[in-house]
Chains A and B, each alone.
Chain A
Amino acid sequence: MAKLPKFYQSDSVLQNSEFGELARHLGFVVIVWGLVEDATRELLDSVALIGERNTSVRTTVLSMTPFRGQIDILRRTAFIHQPDSDWFKELDAVLSEIEGKLHEQRNRFIHDPWVEDDDEKIVRTARGKLEVSVSKDKKGNRSLKILEPKPATLAEITDFLDKAYACYHKLIQSQRDYLVWLVASDARPAWFDDVMD
């Protein structure tokens, strides 16, 4: 059984000769994010849709619901079906981390251009709404602020990967805890008992 490859934890700014290493890490970002999306979907299936015995119906509902929508539905249905408040609190925190900072970071890694600067180093240029902002100083004067290209390090990507992995594991654990509770509780769907019989 293989694990995902090890990552470099380097804080040093990437040189133009290291685009290959950068590419590999961006590939990890995509794959790990896919795992987080899959685990979210599985948990949503357990919490919200397990009463529907027909798996085709469940698959149809999940496949037509965008990821952000899945998170919203999961949060609300998890609140309704929570085994206990600690379980819900932990899940709520994980979902907030996924839909907040991690989702934004993932999008920036995937959509921002990574280019070589004049010093032959790799920089990432923010694009879109983050690139330019209007700020106000203490005297109330407004000025235009343009975000400078950010020197690229693998550390920022590995930091993201660590956090995304942690969320992935917490989602898996949440699903296990939920199913263990469900089987023993009166809230389990009737078809569970049919299967057991």
Chain B
Amino acid sequence: MTNKPDLRDVDEAAMKKFCAAIGELILWASLIDEQLNKALVGMFALPEHAMIEPIVAQLDARPKAELLKKRAKTIPSKDWKNGITNWVERAEKANANRNTVAHHAIRIEGGTITLHTSQLGKILSNLKDSEGKLEAGDRKGLSDIQAWIDQARNTYIEGQNIIANLDRFREAAAKAV
């Protein structure tokens, strides 16, 4: 195996924990993205064909979410409309958090691992106003990622419920036709 890069001032257990948290969030986010595909197929009553899901999967998460939210607006039932819209917004959040961990490098300061970006746009969007003075926002660490994992897990559970309801709706609609 190739020599690994040295990372100063961090113990192996802390690094393992941090890596595991990043990976877990990625796993949940991928599953939620998969749910968005299924929800799109269900919400737009797309025909069942082997090519449908791969085509839907080609879309980025953002247009998928936009389409679902626009489609949800046309649902007469307020509960359904709100339920689906809220879930899609939480799915967008999970995707944004996945992007944060997947596109940031790590920095180790005083034995603590945090996420770090060199991209100006991200640095600027993280600036905070402190009594008229602009300051860099807090760097995200393990506790932030763990909170994002909890949110993603709940979003996934909610998504399973929505997809099951959409399946039931499709079955009922097919019978009615």
Q: Residues on A close to B: CB < 8 A? A: 1-5, 19-20, 22-31, 34-35, 37-38, 41, 59-60, 62-64, 110-115, 125, 127-129, 131-132, 144, 146, 158, 162, 165-166, 168-169
Determine the chain A residues whose CB is within 8 A of the CB of B68 once the complex forms: none
| Partner among B10, B15, B118, B121 whose Cβ is within 8 Å of the Cβ of A38 | B118
Do B5 and A35 touch (CB < 8 A)?
Answer: yes
CA distance A113 to B54 in the complex (A): 13
Q: What residue of chain A has the Cβ atom nearest to residue B119's Cβ?
A: A63
Residues of B within 8 A of A127 (CB): 33-34, 37, 54, 57
| Residue of A whose beta carbon sits closest to that of B53 | A131
B4:A23 contact, CB within 8 angstroms = no
Across the interface, do A129 and B54 meet the contact criterion of CB distance under 8 Å?
A: yes
Could you list 17 A-B pairs, sorted by A, with CB under 8 Å?
Answer: A1-B6, A1-B9, A2-B6, A2-B12, A4-B4, A5-B15, A5-B16, A23-B19, A23-B22, A27-B21, A59-B118, A60-B120, A113-B30, A129-B54, A131-B54, A166-B2, A169-B3
Q: How far in angstroms is the closest Cβ of chain B from A112?
A: 6
Q: Closest chain A residue to B5 by CB distance? A: A35
Chain B positions within 8 Å of A168 at CB level: 5
Given contacts A26-B23, A127-B34, A144-B51, A4 and B121 within 8 Å (CB-CB)? no
Query: Please, how many angstroms separate the alpha-carbon atoms of A50 and B118 in the complex?
Result: 17
Known: A26-B27, A63-B121. A20 touches B20 (CB 8 A): yes
Assembly CA distance A28 to B19 (angstroms): 6
Contacts of B175 in A (CB 8 A): none
B30→A111 contact, CB < 8 A? yes
Asked if B11 CB lies within 8 Å of chain A CBs, one says: yes
Which of B6, B18, B21, B23 has most chain A Cβ within 10 Å? B23
Known contacts A2-B7, A2-B10, A131-B57, A63 near B120 by CB under 8 Å: yes
CB pair B23 A25 closer than 8 Å:
yes
- B residues near A22, Cβ cutoff 8 Å: 23, 27
**Nearest A residue to B28, CB-CB:** A23
Determine the main DSSP class of B at the interface with A. Answer: helix
Report Cα–Cα, A38/B33, bound state, in Å. Answer: 28
CB distance from A89 to the nearest CB of B (A): 20
B19 touches A5 (CB 8 A): yes
Q: Looking at the complex, which one of A63, A128, A162 makes contact with B2 (CB distance below 8 Å)?
A: A162
Interface set, chain B 52-98, CB cutoff 8 A to A: 53-54, 57-58, 98
Measured between alpha carbons, how far is A115 from B104 in the docked complex, in Å? Answer: 25
Contacts of A166 in B (CB 8 A): 2
User: Which residues from B are CB-within-8-Å of A3?
Assistant: 4-7, 12
A27 to B3, CA, bound (A): 18
Min CB–CB distance A193 → chain B (angstroms): 29
Known A-B contacts A34-B106, A129-B54; A23 and B1 likewise in contact (beta carbons under 8 Å): no
A20's nearest neighbour on chain B, judged by CB, is B20
Please name all residues of chain B whose beta carbon is closer than 8 Å to the beta carbon of A28 when the two chains form the complex.
19, 23
**Chain B residues positioned under 8 Å from A2 (CB to CB):** 6-12, 15
Q: Are B23 and A4 in contact (CB under 8 A)?
A: no
- Contact residues in B for A158 (Cβ distance below 8 Å): 1
Cβ distance B59 to chain A, nearest Cβ, rounded Å? 9
